[in-house]
Structure formats: C-alpha cells, structure tokens
C-alpha cells in the first residue's frame, strides 16, 4: 500500500514544508531559530527596544523564555487507543519514526493500514517542530509565523476548505480536501496547531479500496482533531 500513501500528498505543501512526508519538515524546514539549538529553554536576544546600563553601555531586554525546551518522541505522541481507532490493523502499531537530525527540535511519526476488512486504507502522520529564540525573534513568535505560513500554504490547494479549530493548543486550523490519484479518491484532512513555541501538523487520510465507501469528511476531520489533542498533551507532558 505504499503507492496509496502518495494519495495523501498535497503538492503545494510538500514543496513548502511537507505535511504528507514529515521527514521533509524534519530535515530542514525551519524558520529563523527553529534549529532547537537552545537546550535550556531560557532563550534570550534582542527585542529591538534597547536601554542603557549604569555604565552607559547600550543593553537590550531579554526575550521571553521558550515555553517548551524539548519534544516528545514522535511515535509516542498519539495514544494507542487513538491509533487503534484511526488506523485499524495498522501495519506497525508502534508507528514509523520520521528521521531527524535533532530530536529536541523536530520529530515525527506515521501509521498506515488497510482496516479490518483490508479495503479501508488509513494513513495518520504527525510532525512536530520546536522553535528557539534568536536575537531578533522570540521562539513563540517564530512558531506563530510558521503556523500562519502552513495554514496559508494548505489553503492554496485547489478544492481545500480551511476552518479554525478550538480546544487544540493555542491556535489550530484544519484544512479538508479530496485528492484523486490513479482513479482512487481519498478524503484528506490536515490539522495545524500551535502550542507555545511548538508547531504540530497532523494529517489523516482515508479511502475505500475496490469500490468501498470512503470515510466522510467529518469522520476524517474529527480523527485528525483527536490525534492532535493527543500530540499537544504529549508536548506538555514531555516538558512537565
């Protein structure tokens, strides 16, 4: 079913920062100080509003510390019950880890399966990116910028419908669309969320094979939201 996995891809986003293939985001799609080089979580730098010290030396106020200093393992971000519900009979229930050169800054995982009857394809992908402050931008501001960019890129896909989501992190938006590859149409949903200085991308796709009925847009959208809530909670847990 690796061929079916390509049904899920959204070309516009893949070129910008790959949602459907988390490894692309994890290996270099970053903004400013998103390298995760700050291990302490107490990022500092220039906010552009300088002051003068008692000795007459110009100083710059410290930026707000990054809320999160690390990331959880990508395959541990979604609970077993959620994986079982969204990807029945997953080929690898523990997930397939996306490669990362810095696990504290980028992580990801994916699950795929054909359902209990072998004709209901499902694919779930999770990608996380943590930002650190630079001398010009706080970690949280960079995350806000990345969140907005991802939602904008997804919204450019023909036929995509974006809507805000509540109850998932500090910000969240979901984009629903259908894609047809090799005469097979899949129902796709991508949820982008921000929690503090971390951006989370969850993609959930489904298709009925051999003429079987596809999952509804609502089912896929709700599934993506369920997984995203797990991921956001896992980020907080990893930094607790």
Q: What is the DSSP letter of 90?
A: B
- Global confidence as pTM: 0.76
Looking at residue 54, what is its pLDDT?
57
Nearest to 210 by CA among 125, 93, 115: 115
Residue-wise pLDDT for 213-226, tens only, equals 999 999 999 999 99
Q: Which domains does the chain have, with CATH numbers?
A: 2-29+70-238 (3.40.1000)
Looking at residue 10, what is its pLDDT?
38
Looking at residue 60, what is its pLDDT?
56
Looking at residue 35, what is its pLDDT?
43
Nearest to 122 by CA among 240, 15, 212: 212
Looking at residue 65, what is its pLDDT?
80
Residue-wise pLDDT for 40-60, tens only, equals 444 443 334 454 555 555 555
Q: What is the chain's length?
A: 240
Regions of the chain short of the pLDDT cut 70: 1-62
d(CA 154, CA 156): 5
């Amino acid at each position: 079913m690796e061929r079916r996995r390509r049904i899920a891809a959204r070309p516009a986003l893949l070129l910008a920062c790959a949602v459907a293939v988390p490894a692309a985001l994890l290996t270099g799609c970053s903004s400013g100080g998103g390298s995760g080089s700050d291990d302490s979580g107490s990022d500092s730098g220039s906010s552009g509003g300088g002051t003068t010290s008692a000795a007459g030396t110009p100083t710059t106020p410290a930026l707000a510390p990054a809320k999160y200093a690390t990331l959880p393992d990508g395959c541990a971000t979604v609970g077993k019950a959620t994986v079982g519900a969204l990807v029945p009979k997953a080929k690898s229930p523990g997930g397939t880890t996306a490669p990362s050169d810095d696990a504290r800054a980028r992580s990801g995982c994916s699950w795929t399966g054909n359902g209990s009857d072998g004709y209901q394809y499902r694919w779930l992908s999770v990608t996380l990116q943590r930002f650190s402050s630079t001398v010009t931008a706080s970690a949280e501001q960079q995350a806000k910028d990345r969140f907005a960019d991802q939602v904008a890129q997804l919204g450019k896909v023909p036929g995509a419908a974006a809507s805000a989501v509540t109850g998932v992190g500090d910000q969240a938006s979901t984009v629903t669309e259908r894609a047809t590859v090799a005469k097979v149409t899949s129902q796709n949903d991508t949820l982008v969320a921000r929690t503090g200085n971390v951006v989370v991308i969850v993609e959930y796709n489904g298709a009925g094979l051999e003429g079987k009925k596809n999952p509804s847009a609502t089912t896929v959208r709700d599934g993506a939201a369920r997984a995203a809530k797990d991921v956001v909670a896992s980020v907080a847990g990893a930094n607790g």
